[in-house]
Structure 1
Amino acid sequence: MSAPINAVCALDSGVSALLGSKPQRLYSFGDAPQDVQKPYAVWQIIGGNPENYLAGRPDIDGYRLQVDVYASSGSDARAVAKALRHAIELNANIIRWGGESRDPSTKNYRYSFDVSWLVPR
């Protein structure tokens, strides 16, 4: 039970060019391996709900995902976010641009956004 973000992004050549394909550097639960190659992105479910009806079982689940891109430069972080947006937008909606920041200890650049994704059961 989750949104198929990895599967959708794996089919996009722009994402694969930036995040690789085997393995793809797009990690669930907001958890990337230690010392992973940059750029990379993480995602996690931050909300959602089934489409409930008065009669019968829901036939679709709604998910809200937070996606965070990490890179060695701001331009790389923006390029990956743009590629992810391009891959995702035909399947889901970007609902929030979360902003840009730089981690004071790792010096990684971060670009964040949220996605609303409806997934048929």
Structure 2
Amino acid sequence: MFPKVYRTIHTPTVAGIVDTRIGRHGEIAQTEQKPYIVWQIATNNAFDTLSEAPGGDFTTVQIDCYHQTDAGAVQLAMGVRAALDAVLIVNRVVLNIRDTETKLYRVGLEADFIDRR
């Protein structure tokens, strides 16, 4: 139900761009240095059975990469995608925009975490 997103995506490549600026719940302090990543759980489904408690969860997480430049946002998203691919987590790009409020470039990915309970 609560996948290990930070531990999964905080690779040397990603840390080289954002250091530890990876915020849960889709939030990070507006005073935080840029670029950064935020993530949030989009959906969660238990693997239900009729005979026992669920043995695991299928959780879709949205991971948003924010950067001051378009090329930087793409580079950051590619680093996140490589981290997810390395541990065989299915992922896809769902957003590629310039955020109207922050004026930062944003690439959003969805990643499907499958965890045992």
Q: Does TM, normalized by the shorter one, top 0.5?
A: yes
Secondary structure of the structure 2 residue equivalent to 1:80? helix
Deviation at 1:39, TM superposition (A): 1.1
Query: 1:16 matched to which residue of 2?
Result: 15
Corresponding residue pairs, total: 116
Deviation at 1:79, TM superposition (A): 0.8
Q: If the length of structure 1 is used for normalisation, what is the TM-score? A: 0.88
Deviation digits for residues 52-106 of structure 1 (CA, Å, limit 9, x no counterpart): 1121111111111111111100011011101111111214210x31121112343
Structure 2 gaps, min length 5: none
Distance 1:105 1:51, change over 3 A: closer
Aligned mates of 1:107, 1:119 — CA distance in 2: 35
Structure 1 gaps, min length 5: none
Deviation at 1:107, TM superposition (A): 1.5
Question: Is 97-106 or 40-49 further displaced after alignment?
Answer: 97-106
Q: Conserved in 2, the CA contact under 8 Å of 1:77 and 1:111?
A: yes
Aligned mates of 2:114, 2:101 — CA distance in 1: 36
Moved over 4 A (4+): none
Q: Conserved in 2, the CA contact under 8 Å of 1:50 and 1:58?
A: yes
Distance 1:61 1:6, change over 3 A: same
Q: Conserved in 2, the CA contact under 8 Å of 1:91 and 1:117?
A: no
Deviation digits for residues 28-70 of structure 1 (CA, Å, limit 9, x no counterpart): 1001112211110111001021111121111111111111111
Root-mean-square deviation over aligned CA pairs = 1.3
Deviation digits for residues 10-39 of structure 1 (CA, Å, limit 9, x no counterpart): 3x211111121xxx1111100111221111
Q: Percent identity?
A: 28
1:107 aligned onto 2:81: no
1:50 counterpart letter in structure 2 = A
Query: 1:93 matched to which residue of 2?
Result: 90
Q: If the length of structure 2 is used for normalisation, what is the TM-score? A: 0.91
Aligned mates of 2:14, 2:52 — CA distance in 1: 38
